[in-house]
Amino acid sequence: MISAQFDYVRANTLDEALTLLAQNEDAKILAGGHSLIPAMKLRLAQPPLLVDIGRLKDLSYIREEGDQIRIGAMTTHYQIESSDLLKKICPLLPECAGHIGDVQVRNKGTIGGSVAHSDPAGDWPAAIIALNAEMIAASQNGERAIKADDFFVELMTTALEPGEILREVRIAKPAGRTGQAYVKMHHPASGFAVVGVAASLTIDGDGKCQNASIGITGVSSKAYRAATVEVALTGRALDEQALADAASHAADGVDINGDLFASEDYRRHLAEVYTKRAIQAAASRVK
């Protein structure tokens, strides 16, 4: 299909983009375009103005700063997938990126666009939650940090306010004996997550789980923290029984999506199976 008519401006600076957003309430940011353009072609989105931030190179970076990792919103999935720095200090990020779409999608799609889009089957939100990331939102009034747990509000709805642009994603560098993993059941047609589970585990000197952080996508209308799973793991040795017990809580308290491909019961089952796999994989990677 062909999109509705719209105006287009390419921003040369972040300030210019913020000014255009402030002046045009219904304008939309165009990043990689790999979610917005399909939505416009289906007329699910009909923004009167697109503000293209695709040329803002200073929003594209991966940096280690003190005890933090900082990733610019325009950093592509491929840049994250192929980052040697991230492979070393936070391997969950490249692993998650590698599961997204195909090479073309990963070359154009951005972490900022994915996180701001909050697709219920998108991969990044699960990792963002498991890593307790902070989203830095910029507007004409300055900047604010939004915690992962507060960021994903509802189906394709985030805590970003009108006039705000997601500028950066910040993640605390994993400390201690930590292992991470992202596992996913790909939808055979779209490649999106039927279920995707990100896990980050820290193990203490006795081999017990000191801290568990689990984010799940694909199961519900938005990605969520599997808080009951985290509680069930904390303080326990990660034997087969502990893993099975914990994973059985993967969809606790969640309204599960059912569709032609995966019924509610099947998705619940997948959530449990993939949560167990993510915990097992993360535990096996603890150094």
Ligand X SMILES: Cc1cc2nc3c(=O)[nH]c(=O)nc-3n(C[C@H](O)[C@H](O)[C@H](O)COP(=O)(O)OP(=O)(O)OC[C@H]3O[C@@H](n4cnc5c(N)ncnc54)[C@H](O)[C@@H]3O)c2cc1C
From CA 236, how far away is CA 250, in angstroms rounded? 17
The yes or no reply on residue 191 touching ligand X (CB under 6 A) is yes
Provide long-range contacts, Cβ within 8 A and 24+ apart, for 223-229. Answer: 223/118, 223/120, 223/122, 223/125, 223/126, 223/128, 223/129, 223/152, 224/129, 224/152, 224/254, 225/129, 225/149, 226/197, 226/250, 226/252, 226/275, 228/252, 228/253, 229/275, 229/279
Task: Give the range of 30-38, 225-233, 239-247, 250-258 binding ligand X by CB under 6 A.
Answer: 30-38
Among 94, 120, 122, 179, binds ligand X (CB under 6 A): 122
Name which of 35 and 200 has its Cβ closer to ligand X: 35
The yes or no reply on residue 277 touching ligand X (CB under 6 A) is no
The yes or no reply on residue 218 touching ligand X (CB under 6 A) is no
In this structure, are strands 28-30 and 62-65 parallel, antiparallel, or unpaired? Answer: unpaired
Give me the helix-helix angle, 240-247 and 264-284, nearest 10°.
Answer: 140
Amino acid code (one letter) for 219: V
Task: Give the range of 27-35, 145-153, 255-263, 274-282 binding ligand X by CB under 6 A.
Answer: 27-35
The yes or no reply on residue 123 touching ligand X (CB under 6 A) is yes
Return the residues of window 84-103 that contact ligand X according to CB under 6 A: 100-101
Q: Which residue is it, tokens 């913020």?
A: 18
The yes or no reply on residue 110 touching ligand X (CB under 6 A) is yes
Name which of 118 and 202 has its Cβ closer to ligand X: 118
From CA 247, how far away is CA 256, in angstroms rounded? 16
The yes or no reply on residue 9 touching ligand X (CB under 6 A) is no
CB of 15 to ligand X, least distance (A): 14
Q: Report the interface residues with ligand X, using CB under 6 A.
A: 28-36, 38, 73, 100-101, 105, 109-110, 112-114, 116-117, 119, 122-124, 160, 165-166, 191-192
